[in-house]
Amino acid sequence: MSDPKTENRKAKNGKNPGALESIRDFTDLVAWQLGRELRKRVYEITRRFPPDEKHVLVAQLRRAAISVTANVAEGYGRFSYLENIQFCRHARGSAYEVRDHLTTALDAGHLPRTDWDEAEALAKRVIQVLNGYIRSTRERQGKARQA
């Protein structure tokens, strides 16, 4: 597979929005970057949870948030397109898990609605970008087969 990993996104210099850029590391992936923002937000939010949730909801939320970026990174490091896609699907599932745990925290009164709205929007954006990355990886796989 000599095709460099690429992702449709804005150029870092602000020019040529939507241009394909070469991705040199998993940290260059917008999906990973947004997942990192979600993980940081989850840590910030869970610091304010009551102590009795430390080993339950806090642990579950943090574990799911960590899983988003970890799976994107692991998928990037895999040899095949199919493995990369599978790990991105796991990352997407973890983002959905974060959404569910955040809703549980909201329902339990541990999370103000404004914080939930912000985190929910970020998690949905992570899912949206992961879907795009999965789609573009599938397209690269198809092109590699034809070559």
Q: What is the pLDDT of residue 140?
A: 86
| Cβ(113)–Cβ(45) below 8 Å | no
Task: Tell me the per-residue pLDDT of 110-137, one tens digit each, with 9 for 90 and over.
Answer: 999 999 999 999 999 999 999 999 999 9
Q: Which of 15, 14, 3, 11 is nearest to 30 (CA)?
A: 11
- Residue 140 domain flag: no
Q: What is the pLDDT of residue 144?
A: 82
- Residue 33 domain flag: yes
Q: Which of 81, 80, 41 is nearest to 64 (CA)?
A: 41
- Residue 64 domain flag: yes
Total number of domains constituting the chain: 1
3/103 Cα distance (integer angstroms): 41
Taking residues 107-112, report their average pLDDT: 97
Task: Tell me the per-residue pLDDT of 39-69, one tens digit each, with 9 for 90 and over.
Answer: 999 999 999 999 999 999 999 999 999 999 9
The model carries a pTM of 0.84
CATH code where residue 125 lies: 1.20.1440.60
- Residue 14 domain flag: no
- Residue 62 domain flag: yes
pLDDT at 13 over 80: no
Structural domain of residue 53, as residue ranges? 26-135
- Residue 111 domain flag: yes
- Residue 99 domain flag: yes
Write the burial class of residue 34 (CB in 10 Å: 0-12 exposed, 13-18 middle, 19+ buried): buried
- Residue 116 domain flag: yes
